[in-house]
Amino acid sequence: MKKTRRAYSLGLDFGTNSVRALVVDTASGEELSTAVVNYPSGEAGILLDPKDPNLARQNPADYLESMVRVVKKVLRLARKVRKSFSAEQIIGIGIDTTGSTPMPVDRNGLPLAFHDEFKNNLNAQAWLWKDHTSFAEAREITELAAREHPEYLARCGGVYSSEWFFSKILHCLRVDPKVFEAAYTWVECVDFLPAILTGTLAPEKIKRSRCAAGHKAMFNEQWGGLPARDFLSKLDPRLGELRDRLYETTYTSDQPAGYLTRSWAKMLGLKPGIPVAVGAFDAHLGAVGAGVAPGKFVKIIGTSTCDICVWPNDRPLADIPGLCGIVDGSVLPGYFGLEAGQSAVGDIFNWFVNYIQPGGPEHGSHQALTEKAAALLPGESGLLALDWNNGNRTILVDQRLTGLLLGQTLHTRPEEIYLALIESTAFGALTIIKRFREYGVEINEIINCGGIAEKNLLVMQIYADVFGMEMKIARSSQTCALGAAIAGAVVAGKNAGGYDCFEEAQAAMCGVKPVSFKPRPDRHQVYQELYRLYRELHDAFGTREWQGNLYHLMKELLDIRDRQLARARELAAASARTVRTRKKK
Site residues (vs its own copies, CB under 8 A): 344, 347-348, 351, 355-361, 363-364, 382, 386, 388-390, 400-414, 417, 540-551, 553-555, 557-558
Handedness of CA 78, 82, 83, 85 (dihedral sign): negative
Residue 398 phi, psi dihedral angles, 5° rounding: -145, 110
Quote the least distance from Cβ 139 to its own copies, whole Å. Answer: 14
Whole-number Å distance between alpha carbons of 208 and 33: 29
Closest CA to 128 of 70, 54, 67, 66: 54
Q: Using the minimum distance from each CB to its own copies, give the nearer residue, 288 or 426.
A: 426
Quote the least distance from Cβ 45 to its own copies, whole Å. Answer: 20
Q: Using the minimum distance from each CB to its own copies, give the nearer residue, 317 or 553.
A: 553
Q: Using the minimum distance from each CB to its own copies, give the nearer residue, 17 or 516.
A: 17
* Residues 6+ away with beta carbon under 8 Å from 472: 445, 446, 447, 448, 512, 513, 516
Quote the least distance from Cβ 342 to its own copies, whole Å. Answer: 13
Whole-number Å distance between alpha carbons of 346 and 365: 14
Quote the least distance from Cβ 101 to its own copies, whole Å. Answer: 22
Q: In this structure, are residues 165 and 74 in contact, taking their beta carbons and an 8 Å threshold?
A: no
One-character DSSP codes across 28-51: T--EEEEEEEE--STBTTBEEETT
Q: Using the minimum distance from each CB to its own copies, give the nearer residue, 131 or 191.
A: 131
Whole-number Å distance between alpha carbons of 72 and 12: 12
Quote the least distance from Cβ 559 to its own copies, whole Å. Answer: 9
Quote the least distance from Cβ 319 to its own copies, whole Å. Answer: 23
* Residues 6+ away with beta carbon under 8 Å from 258: 194, 195, 197, 198, 199, 200, 205, 207, 275, 276
Quote the least distance from Cβ 184 to its own copies, whole Å. Answer: 38
Q: In this structure, are residues 299 and 338 in contact, taking their beta carbons and an 8 Å threshold?
A: no
Q: Using the minimum distance from each CB to its own copies, give the nearer residue, 47 or 421.
A: 421
Quote the least distance from Cβ 100 to its own copies, whole Å. Answer: 22
3-state secondary structure of 54: strand
Q: Using the minimum distance from each CB to its own copies, give the nearer residue, 444 or 543.
A: 543
Quote the least distance from Cβ 349 to its own copies, whole Å. Answer: 11
Q: Using the minimum distance from each CB to its own copies, give the nearer residue, 546 or 580.
A: 546
Closest CA to 373 of 333, 342, 336, 418: 418
Q: Using the minimum distance from each CB to its own copies, give the nearer residue, 327 or 533.
A: 533
Residue 294's alpha-carbon distances to 309, 333, 484, in angstroms, are: 7, 12, 20
Q: Using the minimum distance from each CB to its own copies, give the nearer residue, 4 or 367.
A: 367
Number of Cβ within 10 Å of residue 368's Cβ equals 18
Do strands 90-97 and 8-14 pair parallel, antiparallel, or not at all (unpaired)?
A: parallel
Quote the least distance from Cβ 542 to its own copies, whole Å. Answer: 7
Q: Using the minimum distance from each CB to its own copies, give the nearer residue, 204 or 362.
A: 362
Q: Which helix (H) or strand (E) holds 325?
A: strand 325-328
Q: In this structure, are residues 144 and 235 in contact, taking their beta carbons and an 8 Å threshold?
A: yes
